[in-house]
Amino acid sequence: MSKTILVTGAGRGLGRTLAERLSARGDTVIAHARSESALAGVPHAKALVADLAEPGTLADAVAAAGVERLDALVHNAGVLNVNSVEDETLEWWQRTLAVNVVAVAELTRLLLPALRAARGHVVFLNSGAGLNAAPKLASYAASKHALKAIADALRAEERGNGLRVTSLYPSHFDTDMQRGLRDQYDSDYDPARAMSPESVAAQITAVLDAPADMVVNDLRSEPPNPLPISPKS
């Protein structure tokens, strides 16, 4: 049976790959991006256009999309900046927490009636940084630790309503964010030693397809031989 699934950050990278995969198998995809133009070429039935850096705009965007029943919400969008606690700017702290935490909580809140109607599934794309904070990733890691807290609280609160909640912790997969992170660390990068977006999208799809009598609460994954993040020699 086909599902209605909202994917945030669907304009590129993993979000785009996931939207393509879900659409190809017959699911109805609601694709989120900051602009309509960002969704050019992305298969989708509806668009949710909103800037997650401005969580206050989400209520109008959700109302405009007219989502009454939602089988799954995949929180994929996120931002990252590499900087020490000493040097990280207030602007980046505010942007990171707005996009990675506040917007996620607000979008989930707004879509809860539609998710409850379908006894749906909320998937949070977390990170290894959501479990262990590395040097120069304080703002990003803090946001991902907060994301874990949102997922854990939501799971406990919504069990009685039939909602399933999953946190995924994929590490080292080939995206613009991973490349940008390596650039900011001045570190080598080898996509052959990273997971592909297709592999991570397949993992998400498998989690969404779990039998109705089970849920995957937390799942970690990484490539067999990831390239460490270290300065170029």
Q: Catalytic positions, please?
A: 140
Q: How is residue 7 written in tokens? A: 């994917």
Cβ-defined contacts of 170-173 (< 8 Å, 24+): 170/125, 170/127, 170/195, 170/200, 170/203, 170/220, 170/221, 170/222, 171/127, 171/128, 171/220, 171/221, 171/222, 171/223, 171/226, 172/222, 172/223, 172/226, 172/227, 173/14, 173/197, 173/199, 173/200, 173/223
Give me the helices (H) in 11-137, please.
13-24, 58-65, 90-97, 103-118
In angstroms, the CA 169 to CA 222 distance is 9
